[in-house]
Amino acid sequence: MSKMKLKPGVITGSALQETFEYMKTVGCALPAVNCIGSNTVVAALAAAREAKSPIVIQFSNSGAHFFGGKFLDNKNEQGAIAGAIAGAHYVRNLAQAYGVAVVLHTDHAAKKLLPWVEGMLNHGEAYYAKHGEPLFSSHMLDLSEEPLHENLEICARILKRMSPMKMTLEIELGVTGGEEDGVDNTDVDNAKLYTQPADVLAAYDALQPIGRFTVAASFGNTHGVYKPGNVKLRPIILKNSQDAIQKERRTGANPVNFVFHGGSGSSREEIREAVSYGVIKMNIDTDTQWAFTHPVKKYMDEKSAYLQDQLGNPEGPDKPNKKYIDPRAWLHAGEKGMAARLVDAFKDLNSFGQFEV
């Protein structure tokens, strides 16, 4: 099978769905990395360029606010909206320069964050009217804390607004354990960590007639990294859901595009098994945070004697420290560390070298 060729830039509309179908055919998925500023965006783009693969760049609500600057007032989510829009335009401009294809996405949005999503859609509709494509490829609603019927009702309402722009909606069924972006599920009922096939079928029936969607289903996955044995993944749950829908609705194999949340710390075997059941995207955040921060800490430790003041170091009391205190030195070390970790993720997900970009 020949490799899929993608143009640099943001993948939207039908091209995104074709990309998902290609990935299920060759058995690969994309890393989805939460970015919080220009340094993490360029690290993600550099990794994708090396992997010769698209990448999912996404902003969480707090990440979007941070991108715009925590100096911004976030009343009515205005700071997070402004940061997300700024980030989207930044990614669009640099994706071309790096020669990388990007799925531009936003992460977890609980019910209280609907104004954030709706604010981004306001901008997206204006962008679509001018350019004929949406600003973002997709958005996520995480209404897993709500009853299933309410989860699907709200998702259907938002998807009806997104569909004219051919956008994709990511939904969550079940609960991803651990804590991320202010949502703490560390003590959640264990049963909720495993999504039931009946719930996935209900989502399929509710959303398939409206538009394009992906499902973040829970199969024991957890945000964060824990010692071996603490997280018990059961990817077979995804296969059970796929089989149920294929049987009940007489579809082809793997009719649902699944998303793997809480991918940090997972083994390659677990990742590859999940991909074989229709996972097309794996969120990785904790590992990339550490991959960025660790080289920065190492730099600070090694150069400590040069970072005490602007003048004076082991070479002499009047020696300048300008080249050591320049933030570009340690920020780029963080970028390189994060990019290297993401290249490993592409390999784990079998997407390294699977495309022509």
As a whole-number percent, the residues of the chain with pLDDT over 90 amount to 83
Q: Where are the beta strands (DSSP E) in 35-114?
A: 55-59, 101-106
pLDDT digits (tens, 9 = 90+) for 26-72: 999 999 999 999 999 999 999 999 999 999 999 999 999 999 999 99
Exposed (0-12), middle (13-18) or buried (19+): which is 73, by Cβ within 10 Å? Answer: exposed
pLDDT digits (tens, 9 = 90+) for 128-186: 999 999 999 999 999 999 999 999 999 999 999 999 999 999 999 986 544 444 444 44
CATH for 200: 3.20.20.70
- Residue 153: the pLDDT is 98
Beta bridge pairs of residue 184: 179
How many residues appear in the chain?
357
Name the domain count of the chain. Answer: 1
Looking at the predicted structure, is the pLDDT value of residue 187 above 80?
no
How confident is residue 228, by pLDDT bands cut at 50, 70 and 90? very low
Q: Are 60 and 106 in contact (CB under 8 A)?
A: yes
- Residue 179: the pLDDT is 44
How confident is residue 194, by pLDDT bands cut at 50, 70 and 90? confident
Q: What is the span of the domain harbouring residue 57?
A: 4-356
Distance CA 122, CA 21 (A): 29
| Angle made by CA atoms 243, 248, 251, in degrees to the nearest 5 | 70
| Positions marked active-site | 107
DSSP for 149-179, written as a single string = HHHHHHHHHHHHHHGGGT-EEEEEES--BEE
